[in-house]
Amino acid sequence: MRLILDIAVTHIVGRGRQTLVAILGVAVGVGFSVAMAALMQGGQDDLIAKLVDTMPHVQITDDRRTPPVQPAELAFDAAAIAGLRPREDRRGIINPTAAFAWLKEWVPGRVAASLTTQGVVRYLGRDVGATVVGIEPKAERGVSSLVEDFVDGSFEALDVGGNNVVIGDRMAGRLGAGVGDTVTLVSSSGLSRGFKIVGLYHTGITARDEHEAYILLKSAQILDARINVVNEIRIRLDDPAAAPAVARRAEARLGYKSMSWQEANEQILEALVVRNVIMYTVVAAIMLVAGFGIFNIISTITHEKARDIAIMKSLGFSRGDMQRLFVLEGLAIGLAGSLLGWLLGFALVYALASVHFELNAGGRELTRLPVAWEPLHYAIAAGFALASAAVAGYLPARKAARQPPVDIIRGAT
């Protein structure tokens, strides 16, 4: 085996330029596969991270999934009532304190209750429709990603004296109001009250930046004339993947619609599955093309060695020796190419990751190309390259080694 290895090394080193081309061929294939996979995976990870980050992992609202059973259905077997919609219930979540306490007991994460209503924010005669969310600042910190998006002030500022509100920067722009100004909030029940702006945030999502206002839960309950009412409980989990299970358990016990982020984004996640299929197809196609390239280069080299195979066999080498020799040569080229390809792939991914974009379309800003640093991509690309290289050495060598050496020797003389 030592001899075979020495012969392989001499062959590879002796063919300097050819070897270099083969190694570069492998490297390019591996490098681009890695970069492509990093880009595709990165895009997906980024999208999911944004989904998971910007919304509660589980959202319990005062809705019910099925309308309440009607007395007629209880009284008559044949009665069937379709198309019923649950009546809007101004009472919100029944007994919210108990529900909240029960959730806090077992949920692996943080829980916050709120009252969400529709209203209007008014300043100097200008009106902007808004979703007014009543929150408890301390609890809200734990469930909302909004804390990271403040450009001025914070949730905590809501607690400091009087009636305070935080709004998005776009709403502030539309109203022409800034921090320190007092705006009027009008609730759907017609009550209104003045609130001082103590914070501005910018999420990048237009709907939120323009049409949301946060006030204290107590203020919201007073404004909407629903004392002690809570109509939404939001949960942020340590492990976002556990959301469906938590949602199921909460719904089974409380009876209220509990929606995991996966359920809320079902369509997006389904689209991601399609995207995944496309991604794997594209990466597989690149690898396949690279694999063919690798196969082509190495099998050409092996073909050219048919005469040497005949010579070595005539000297007394076995068929197996010859196959091992060329598989070894293929693997060596594949290995060198893979290592170089890793460097190339890493450099490409690095370059892609440092590209900056200034994008301001669709209300979302993308400042950096998301890429995934995934060792698995490197392993798969190298594995594929090594396999093609080994096969590329093996197949022609097997053919040449099976042929009786005289066939080649006769032809060569």
Partner 1 sequence: MSPPPALIETEGLTRILPEVVPVTLVEDVTLAIGEREFVAITGPSGSGKSSLLYLLGLLDRPTRGRLRLAGIDTDPMDEAARAARRLAMLGFVFQFHFLLPEFSARENVEIPMRKLGRLSRPAIRDRAGELLESLGLAGHVDKRPDQLSGGQRQRVAVARALANDPPLLLADEPTGSLDSQSSEQVFAILADLVHGRGKTVVAVTHDLELAARMGRRIHLVDGRVVSDERISAAGPPG
Asked whether the beta carbons of 348 and 37 are under 8 A apart, the reply is: no
Q: How far apart are CA 298 and CA 135, in angstroms?
A: 67
Which of the stretches 20-28, 70-78, 110-118, 314-322 binds partner 1 when contact is defined by CB under 8 A? 314-322
Crossing angle between the packed helical segments 266-304 and 16-54, to the nearest 10 degrees? 170
Give the closest residue to 117 by CA, choosing from 138, 134, 132, 98.
132
**Contact between 20 and partner 1 (CB under 8 A)?**
no
Cβ of residue 293: shortest distance to partner 1, in angstroms? 24
Q: Cα dist. 135→163, 222, 258 in Å?
A: 13, 13, 19
Amino acid, res. 174: R
Crossing angle between the packed helical segments 319-353 and 2-14, to the nearest 10 degrees? 50
**Contact between 268 and partner 1 (CB under 8 A)?**
no
Give the closest residue to 95 by CA, choosing from 220, 228, 236, 227.
228
Among 313, 329, 331, 400, binds partner 1 (CB under 8 A): 313
Cβ of residue 16: shortest distance to partner 1, in angstroms? 11
Task: Give the nearer residue to partner 1 in terms of CB position, either 65 or 410.
Answer: 410
Cβ of residue 397: shortest distance to partner 1, in angstroms? 15
Name the token pair of 370.
Answer: 């998301």
**Contact between 324 and partner 1 (CB under 8 A)?**
no
Would you call 183 helix, strand, or coil by DSSP? Answer: strand
Give the closest residue to 215 by CA, choosing from 153, 155, 149, 141.
155
Which of the stretches 57-65, 79-87, 147-155, 309-317 binds partner 1 when contact is defined by CB under 8 A? 309-317
Site map (CB under 8 A) of partner 1, residues 111-150, x = contact: ----------------------------------------
Task: Give the nearer residue to partner 1 in terms of CB position, either 139 or 322.
Answer: 322
Q: How far apart are CA 170 and CA 48, in angstroms?
A: 25
Which of the stretches 60-68, 225-233, 307-315, 327-335 binds partner 1 when contact is defined by CB under 8 A? 307-315
Q: How far apart are CA 324 and CA 335, in angstroms?
A: 16
Q: How far apart are CA 218 and CA 134, in angstroms?
A: 7
How many residues form the binding site for partner 1 (CB under 8 A)? 24
Which of the stretches 9-17, 269-277, 326-334, 390-398 binds partner 1 when contact is defined by CB under 8 A? 9-17
Among 79, 268, 379, 412, binds partner 1 (CB under 8 A): 412
**Contact between 3 and partner 1 (CB under 8 A)?**
yes
Among 56, 153, 341, 405, binds partner 1 (CB under 8 A): 405
Residues that bind partner 1 (CB under 8 A): 3, 7, 10-11, 14-15, 307-308, 311-319, 404-406, 409-410, 412-413
